[in-house]
Amino acid sequence: MPYLKILFCSLLVIMLDQATKLLSLTKPELLKTGGFFELYLTYNTGVAFGMPIPQNVIFILILLILVIGGFFVVRKFDLQKMIARVPVALILGGAIGNLIDRIRLGQVVDFIKVGPWPMFNLADSAICIGAVMIVIWGGKMVRSE
């Protein structure tokens, strides 16, 4: 049952991410520039936050390492606890949301700019929030053995 809840939450993240990206692509006139918080369309051909990728092979290797590493980390979580399910769902949903863009467009749609931070989207936000939750509450997520 916890896996269904993770899947459901991940699907919500994916749907919100893809809907906001579609909106930014089809209705760019809704996006506003100027000020500390800006909304404008850009494409990310690199990895997180626009870091460049030297080669696609390196990108694929990094993804494989992250997936394998993530699998070993999540195996230690007590997924019966909501505090463990939420960050897993956020990270999974965000990663799949950006992966959909990579497969469909060959790049990721970004449209949010806040102050000095690089451009991002809702999938990036979900991944970061999930990672911060793991850092803050990681000890409470681990299965007691």
Return the DSSP state at 28: G
C-alpha 118/C-alpha 17 separation (Å) is 18
For 47-76, the three-class secondary structure string (H helix, E strand, C coil) is CHHHCCCCCHHHHHHHHHHHHHHHHHHHCC
C-alpha 88/C-alpha 74 separation (Å) is 8
Catalytic residue among 17, 78, 101, 124: 124
Our answer to whether residue 124 is catalytic in this structure is yes
**Residues tagged active-site:** 110, 124
